[in-house]
Structure formats: structure tokens, C-alpha cells
Chain A
Amino acid sequence: MAAITVNGAQREVQSPVDTPLLYVLRNELDVTSPQFGCGLAQCGACSVLLDGREVRACVTPVSMALGKEVTTIEGLPARWARQKKLPPAEAEKTLHPVQTAWIEEQTPLCGFCQNGMMIKATELLEKTPSPTDAEIKAAFTTSGPSAHLCRCGSYAAILEAVRLASALMMKSGNT
């Protein structure tokens, strides 16, 4: 039986190890934020972080995640709390700055793609804390297997939310 780490917890997996991670997360482990968008790694709705790198869960067999850490947006607050060494009481009520920014900027429209957008933003800001607009656009367009697609056209809102998330993260780093 295989085991993977999801959002900080060790999870046993019954599904065959060639099953794409997306179906294991959603159906077996009840981690439902990654969404099925295309099954072809063409849109980014299913994105998760695998050891901090954005991958498409719809084409990533669970075998590729063995011994690695999977992070979804359910796990973003804990990831941030761990990175900032927040005391448990504070960690409990703290969202990841990417989530805070997404709410503050009212970024999602239908919101179906936004799981992947927030995962991509987290990956970007962990490596590049203060990205330029060009770097943000490149991250969402050319850095992965495909561009992250939003049919509702929330790209302008995403750009503003990433800028805000960056500012929030920089601010917390200085305190």
C-alpha cells in the first residue's frame, strides 16, 4: 500500500499507483479543491504543489507523489503558519496571504479555475517574493505544462491579487 503526505498528514492510498493524483485526492482522500478541467494538463484547474512545485494532478500518477509532500489550497494556511512559525492559536485563524489577497481583491468570478491560480501564485511567491507584472504574467502563462486558463476573464483581478499577496508576504517577513 502506498502512502503520500497531503497537507502535512501522512495518508494511505488504496488506489492503484497509476491512478492520477486528482482522482485519489478527490475520491479517496476527500481533498476536493483540485478540480477536473481537461484531464490533459492544458488548463491548470487541478493544480497542486508537489514539494513546492506546481504539477497537474490530472496527469500525475500517484506513484510520482510517493515520499513527497502534496499541498492543496486546503493546506495553504498550515503551510504559511509553518513557514512563519506561527503559534498554534494564531495559526488557526490565519489564512495564507494568497487567500487573503484573493478575498480582498474579490478575484474569483465563477471561481472554478481559482484553485490552480492560487497554487500557481503560491509557487511563484515562494520563489520570487516580489515579482514584476511581467514575471507574474509569465508564471501564469509559460511556466507550467500549459497556461492557467480562466474562461471568466479574471486575469486582471489575479494580477492585482498577486501584487497584494506579495505585499502582504513581504510585510510579514519584516516583522
Chain B
Amino acid sequence: MMDANPVEILISAMLVIGGVFALVGSWGLARMPSLMTRLHGPTKVTTLGVGSCLIASMIYFPAMQGTYSAHELLITLFLFLTAPITANMIAKAHLHRQGRAIDPNPMDDIAEGLPETGVGTGWATFEGQAADRADPPR
């Protein structure tokens, strides 16, 4: 262990960090009490874990194999661009299926559904519904 070169130590550290982060994110997905809290684990922690694995791969292939490719960068770009969008879509689908009368998160102690926004306009995701219903059926 003492004669390991620093690049190996760096790659190993990145791999261990990535594995632990991926596990913690999925543990959060399995153990959190409601969907709105469950969204936090996969969207942030697991994405970070995959990013760490990709960094390890990005160091490993040029340093150990002598080959270089831009694939890791592309995967990182796609994952980090799409993770917030998927989280937003899932939360929105959940809100609309629950309806605004029911609190989507039972841990919040809000018995009577979603609170008022306090800025004059309502929740943006529910604002367009009346206009949609006014559309003639196709």
C-alpha cells in the first residue's frame, strides 16, 4: 500500500466516494417517508456519485491505459443537464395527480393541502388549467 502511486490513490478515492454516494442516494430513495423527500436522494446524491465514478474513469484511461476519449464528458453533461429536469417533471406529475387539496408531503404538517404562495398569483403549475379546459376538444 505504501508504494502505490498518487494517481492510483486518487482513482481509488474517487471510486470509493462514487460507490458510497450512489448507495446513499438509493438508500434515501428506499427509506424517505414521502415522494417529495424521496426526490432528493436520487436527483442530487446519486448524480454526484455517478459524476465521481466518471471522474475516476476520466483519470484512469489516460493515466493507466494511455487512451483518451470524450465519452465521459458527454455522459457527465447529459446526466447533469437532465437530472433537474426529470426531478421537476416527476414532482409536477405527482402534484397534479394528488390534486392541490391533499398535502403531497405528510411530513410537513399541512393538513389542508398546498399553502398559498403569498405573492398574489397561485401555484404556477396549476395556473394554466382553466385555459386548457377552455380549449375545444380535438
A and B bind: no
